[in-house]
Structure 1
Amino acid sequence: MSVLDSLAGTATAGTLYGIGVGPGDARYLTLRAAGLVQAVDVVAYFAKIGSPGNARRVVAPLLVAGRAEVRLEYPVTDEVPADSLDYQQKIGAFYRETATALAALLRQGKSVGLLAEGDPFFYGSFMHMWRRLSADFPVEVVPGVTGMSGCWTRANLPITWGNDALAVLPGTLGENELVERLRLADAAVIMKVGRNLAKVRRAVETAGLLSRAVYVERGTMADERILPLAECGTTGAYFAMVLIPGEGRRL
């Protein structure tokens, strides 16, 4: 066994693995994550209707022929407001059904690697499986490079200096609340931009931060876009965020 093999380890029967696959470039996977993608009995991943699944795309170079896969297709994503009753009912039912399906595999003694974009415990669907399954089955969470870390690195944008306080905000917040929270932060990352881009831009401008704000779309991926927020249109990509670097102590 090579040093890399020993570091990556093996998969244990009947265990659920939440595998953080990083921001989009497969080269940013940890050794443990890459090893598990190749070692688990079943690779499971979430995907939007009509999409191959972003997390699955990231690990595609590591998948071996014949590996069992389970595609978990969301009934809705950003086409329905996340705070609507319709969204919550559909997604809640989907998570319950998904947990039941994964539990069946685990009871069969299968090791299951559930892929998670970025880090599994950071705005990820994996958390909803962890909440439902961790009391009954062994679960290992494999941390990953967050999307925001990948994005500010690709944008060549140091995000916090000295005593800067960083705020991570979902773009789904109301416009006034975004403005209030941005005014309190030294530096900020706004996630879940997508169809909220116009609102996010207005909030950033109202908070007086537009000149520092950078829009990053599909950071670290082949079709990456990086530009000042002031030059953006009104609709962003699903995998996009806005970065506002701090201006703290520089020695």
Structure 2
Amino acid sequence: MTGTLIGVGLGPGDPDLMTLKAARAIGAAGVVAYPALPGTDSFARSIAADLIRSDADEIVIEVPMTKAREPAQAAYDVGAGRIAEALAAGRDVAVLCEGDPFFYGSFMYLHARLSDRFPVEVIPGITSVSAATARAALPLVARNEVLTVLPGPLESDALASRIDAAEAVVIMKVGRHLGRIRDVLAARGLVDRALYVERATMETERILPLADAPEAAPYFSLILVSKGSDPWL
């Protein structure tokens, strides 16, 4: 009998927004794994810290943030190897993932390396998109409107064409791309219809009109753009 690989969605940052199922899985796990930037504390672990057993073994997966994919891929190879050892020994491993495990989530890279050898359970989490719209009190799509989710690092031309074709837009992973994204939206007359949300649900949360957003943004930031309005109004 092998252990089960459990991808645990933690939600956007507020520990109270974890699901009951996620909390139970973390509290029961004898092995907990999570990503961290090299030399820093893990944000994922900080969300779940009060639930991790004092006797749990912890696997830290140090993932560098670089444009090149190879360093991160190597980090996931090492992390998957350590997790595989625990699973092969019959121990369940709860992998902590900010937001939802399969929505731009780090868990998917471990899943790709381990799911063909071990049983897997995935516990979904509240995404930053849902958290941001709730905190901003912004209805984003209604009835037959279509939501488009775009990664901020897209080239400006690709970003522009997808925004032009969209009815409502969420732009993720804003970070150092904020100024360029704002320029793309300004060229389309959409800055006044856009909200900037930084670290939704956390103590350091900021929600601003995009026109008032800072020049530099953290990784955990996004932009909400609503072109239409609720047809019932």
- Specify the TM-score bucket, using the shorter chain as the normaliser: over 0.9
> Contact 2:196/2:221 (CA < 8 Å) preserved in 1?
yes
Residue in structure 2 matching 1:28, options 17, 35, 44: 17
* Deviation of the 1:89 alpha carbon: 1.5
Residue in structure 2 matching 1:235, options 207, 212, 216: 216
> Contact 1:214/1:229 (CA < 8 Å) preserved in 2?
yes
* Deviation of the 1:13 alpha carbon: 5.8
Residue in structure 1 matching 2:36, options 47, 70, 80: 47
Distance 1:129 1:220 in 2: 27
> Number of residues paired by the alignment?
232
> Contact 2:32/2:95 (CA < 8 Å) preserved in 1?
yes
Tell me the equivalent position of 1:224. Answer: 205
Equivalent runs, 1:130-145 vs 2, <5 Å: 130-145=111-126
Superposed CA RMSD: 1.4
Tell me the equivalent position of 1:17. Answer: 6
Secondary structure at the aligned position of 2:69 is classed as helix
Distance 1:68 1:123 in 2: 26
Residue in structure 1 matching 2:131, options 150, 155, 179: 150
Taking only the aligned residue pairs, the percentage that are identical comes to 44
* Deviation of the 1:16 alpha carbon: 0.5
> Contact 1:20/1:116 (CA < 8 Å) preserved in 2?
yes
Distance 2:158 2:40 in 1: 32
TM-score by length of 1: 0.89
> Contact 2:27/2:52 (CA < 8 Å) preserved in 1?
yes
Is 1:60 matched up with 2:49?
yes
TM-score by length of 2: 0.95
> Contact 1:166/1:188 (CA < 8 Å) preserved in 2?
yes
Secondary structure at the aligned position of 2:148 is classed as strand
Tell me the equivalent position of 1:188. Answer: 169
Deviates more, 1:231-240 or 1:181-190: 231-240
Equivalent runs, 1:97-108 vs 2, <5 Å: 97-108=78-89
Structure 2: 5+ residue stretches without partners: none
* Deviation of the 1:246 alpha carbon: 4.2
* Deviation of the 1:105 alpha carbon: 1.1
